[in-house]
């Protein structure tokens, strides 16, 4: 999901967003003294109940030790001759941005050179900075733009940094804290989309102006490149530096799933790239790549939703509509992502939520050659990414719920017909965080209310007894075309499986597991299908005697928080405990809170009475009722979350307590933004609190 500031409240007397009947509107004030006092009371109540026992403290310590292991893979990005990594541990809780050479990285204990010590920088400047990445200037890789958040939120300051001298450039490019989007054009010029002052942001709080900013000039004097409408989601411009194919682009994002892309010519003409508004466009050297979200008819040929097409960029802009299909989905198969090397496009293809990697390569006669890179694993996940646009080297990761991450370096040649495991060099292997040999992964399918088959992964002990008594944690998301692929459980294995629990991941509609149609099936007025799918998985777990309602807990964050909020209000009889993190819950006012207006394409517009009619049905805050046997619930959020406003969780908690529910708990971290954790200590506390809450309530009947 995306992020932004609160939209101006312009309401008429018949507007459904009127807050006159909202007893807890005051909790939308981010840091008023009254609110801060309320937060302190709620946090204290929760920590006293859940976080002061020796068992909690032991678990928190174990998780923190695991997270701080120096044997974890240091993930790297290549900039020039160096491989850069951001690393946090007990000595550097805010982290080190550091680098090494490939030869050193191959060693079991590489020698690292510190580029920026974020902890030391914070102490010097009096701000606990959170590192949010960097953008280097190619091809010299001497300058970069460093992004720092004061609290872990999406709003960052951007500062120019010298990678050779390892210092910030005192008179270099610098932007104050905002939700900025920047791109190098050359050493002395940037594309900048930021908060330029009154009227420069969309109703979602993102920039609606893209400008060209030249070194040595004031930001206020930057040259306007494009200006969108206040109702758009965002506008930005960027430079593609691929040697020989350098191009500038503008993107106007109308809403989360619709956009307009323009090629900005060297003489500043804007040429719209004529593709469907809901399609994604990318460039690979001389090729335009088009990923469709809906069916598209070109002449007498129809291309289905989820298809990836390639066209010659220059010919397409000149009017040609000759395209080649690089991937065509079917009922069980979808394209998850694609990436590029110098000569190839690598496709990440899902079949029933298990993926394989294929390579497609352009030939001299404009045909494309297709071949397998990595076969599907056994309920595992592989991902590949090109290292840079100069070579055909790539990094490949393989993982699974019980399979720690492996990182490989791959090399492809332009005419390499048989790339496979023999071309891969194992660079790093993550350790087991728990005894994975004791557990098994299985995939099952539940049947939703309308007959749809819904896949889910179940991770359990090999000697699992199907007696209905197993504490089980069911996780889901179901939105924004985001797929839940197999991932290493890591600390979840320690905090849940090792305690004797079963872990389940539901691949419900609203996600992208079966392509755009799987997502679109749960949009707006069809949102209930995602919740019906999740309930179907819960019923299947009980029917198969894996667990029972009293022993089934659920967890979801962000859009997943909205999911479990609806499970709480519509299906309380199916669950024994609910963990609802950084959630959307007040769907009447969600467009008025932080980045909410940017998600209207997903949920609908509550300002429109006919849309509020269906949105109300999945607004947990408005569906709470007195004298209903709700399961215990823990709300977890962050004051600094400028994407999904913490008021959602605050107000839901307050209303539940107003209605007399004592088994509602709340914790709000100060830092961390939408992840609700700014360092590993906060992550360990969060994980231990969730585990302790669920375990306490799901095993209560046996004590």
Q: How far is CA 637 from CA 556, 584, 677, in A?
A: 12, 11, 10
Known active-site residue 381: no
Query: Three-state SS for 198?
Result: coil
291 included as an active-site residue = no
**What is the C-alpha separation between 476 and 626, in angstroms, rounded?**
27
- Give the residue from 331, 292, 333, 337 showing the smallest Cα distance to 311: 292
148, 130 Cβ separation under 8 angstroms: yes
Answer for the pair 373, 419: CB distance below 8 angstroms, yes or no: yes
Q: Which two tokens stand for residue 383?
A: 């991902």
The 10 Å Cβ neighbour count of residue 659 is 14
Query: Cα–Cα distance between 54 and 67 in angstroms, integer?
Result: 20
d(CA 660, CA 658): 5
Q: Which of 598, 592, 595, 537 is nearest to 563 (CA)?
A: 537
Round to whole Å and give the CA distance between 475 and 537.
10
Residue 458 and residue 546 in contact, taking contact as beta carbons nearer than 8 Å: yes
- Residues 37/594, Cβ–Cβ less than 8 Å: no
CA distances to 40, 370, 579, 657, 695 from 50, in Å:
15, 55, 13, 18, 11
Q: How far from 503 is each of 443, 547, 701, CA to CA, in Å?
A: 12, 11, 20
> What strands, in cross-sheet order, belong to the sheet with 209-214?
181-186, 189-193, 209-214, 223-227
Reduce the DSSP state of residue 190 to 3 states and report it. strand
Count of alpha carbons within 13 Å of 527, Cβ hemisphere only?
A: 27
The alpha carbon dihedral of 102, 108, 111, 115 has a sign of: positive
Element (H, E) at 603: helix 600-603
Strand-by-strand arrangement of the 77-79 sheet = 77-79, 82-89, 92-100, 113-117
Q: How far apart are alpha carbons 504 and 492 in whole angstroms? A: 11
Q: Catalytic residue, from 3, 204, 380, 558: name it.
A: 558
Phi first, then psi: give them for residue 25, nearest 5 degrees: -60, -25
Count H helices, E strands: the chain? 14, 39
SS3 (DSSP) at 553: strand
Task: Kindly give the pairing relationship between strand 345-351 and strand 354-362.
Answer: antiparallel
CA-to-CA dists, residue 59 to 459, 487, 503, angstroms: 21, 22, 18
From 674, 675, 686, 697, the catalytic residue: 674
The secondary element (H helix, E strand) that includes residue 696 is helix 680-698
Catalytic residues: 558, 674
């Amino acid at each position: 999901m995306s992020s932004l500031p609160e939209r101006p409240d312009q309401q008429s007397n018949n507007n459904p967003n009127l807050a006159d009947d909202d007893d807890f509107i005051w909790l939308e004030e981010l840091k008023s003294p009254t609110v801060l006092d309320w937060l302190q009371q709620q946090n204290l109540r929760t920590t006293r109940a859940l976080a002061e026992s020796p068992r909690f403290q032991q678990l928190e310590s174990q998780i923190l030790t695991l997270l701080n292991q120096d044997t974890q893979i240091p993930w790297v990005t290549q900039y020039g001759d160096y491989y850069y990594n951001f690393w946090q541990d007990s000595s550097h809780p805010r982290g080190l941005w550091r680098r090494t050479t490939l030869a050193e990285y191959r060693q079991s204990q590489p020698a690292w050179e510190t580029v920026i010590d974020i902890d030391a920088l914070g102490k010097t400047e009096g701000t606990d900075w959170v590192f949010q990445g960097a953008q280097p200037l190619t091809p010299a890789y001497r300058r970069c733009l460093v992004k720092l958040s004061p609290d872990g939120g999406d709003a960052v300051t951007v500062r120019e940094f010298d990678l050779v001298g390892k210092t910030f450039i005192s008179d270099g490019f610098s932007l104050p804290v905002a939700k900025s989007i920047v791109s190098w054009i050359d050493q002395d010029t940037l594309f900048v989309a930021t908060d330029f002052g009154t009227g420069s942001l969309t109703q979602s709080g993102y920039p609606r102006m893209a400008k060209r900013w030249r070194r040595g000039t004031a930001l206020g004097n930057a040259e306007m490149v494009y200006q969108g409408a206040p109702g758009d989601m965002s506008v930005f411009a960027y430079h593609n530096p691929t040697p020989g194919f350098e191009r500038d682009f503008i993107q106007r994002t109308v809403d989360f799933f619709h956009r307009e892309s323009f090629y900005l010519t060297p003489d500043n003409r804007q040429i719209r790239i004529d593709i469907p508004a809901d399609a994604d466009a990318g460039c690979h050297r001389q090729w335009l790549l088009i990923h469709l979200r809906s069916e598209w008819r070109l002449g007498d040929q129809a291309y289905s939703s989820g298809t990836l097409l390639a066209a010659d960029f220059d010919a397409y802009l000149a009017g040609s509509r000759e395209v080649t299909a690089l991937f065509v989905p079917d009922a069980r198969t979808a394209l998850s992502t694609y990436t590029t090397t110098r000569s190839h496009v690598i496709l990440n293809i899902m079949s029933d939520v298990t993926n394989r990697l294929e390579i497609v390569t352009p030939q001299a006669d404009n045909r494309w050659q297709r071949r397998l890179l990595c076969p599907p694993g056994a309920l595992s996940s592989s991902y590949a990414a090109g290292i840079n646009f100069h070579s055909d080297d790539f990094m490949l990761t393989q993982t699974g719920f019980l399979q720690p991450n492996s990182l490989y370096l791959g090399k492809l040649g332009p005419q390499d017909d048989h790339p496979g495991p023999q071309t891969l060099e194992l660079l790093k292997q993550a350790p087991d965080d728990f005894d994975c040999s004791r557990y098994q992964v299985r995939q099952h399918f539940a049947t939703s209310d309308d007959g749809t088959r819904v896949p889910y992964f179940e991770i359990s002990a090999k000697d699992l007894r199907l007696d209905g008594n197993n504490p089980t944690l069911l996780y889901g998301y179901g939105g924004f075309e985001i797929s839940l692929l197999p991932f290493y459980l890591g600390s979840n294995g320690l905090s849940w499986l090792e305690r004797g629990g079963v872990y389940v991941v539901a691949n419900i509609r609203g996600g992208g597991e079966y392509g755009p149609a799987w997502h679109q099936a749960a949009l707006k007025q069809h949102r209930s299908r995602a919740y019906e799918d999740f309930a179907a998985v819960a019923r299947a777990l009980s029917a198969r005697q894996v667990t029972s309602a009293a022993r089934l807990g659920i967890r979801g964050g962000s859009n997943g928080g909205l999911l479990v909020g609806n499970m709480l209000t519509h299906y309380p009889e199916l669950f024994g405990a609910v963990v609802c993190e950084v959630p959307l819950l007040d769907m009447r006012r969600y467009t008025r809170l932080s980045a909410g207006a940017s998600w209207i394409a997903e949920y609908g517009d509550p300002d429109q009475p006919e849309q509020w009619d269906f949105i109300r049905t999945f607004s947990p805050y408005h569906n709470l009722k007195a004298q209903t046997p709700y399961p215990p619930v823990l709300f977890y959020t962050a004051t600094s979350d400028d994407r999904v406003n913490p008021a959602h969780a605050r107000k839901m908690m307050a209303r539940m307590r107003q209605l007399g529910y004592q088994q509602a708990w709340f914790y709000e971290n100060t830092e961390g933004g939408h992840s609700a954790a700014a360092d590993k200590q906060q992550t360990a506390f969060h994980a231990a609190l969730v585990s302790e809450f669920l375990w306490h309530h799901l095993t209560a009947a046996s004590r």
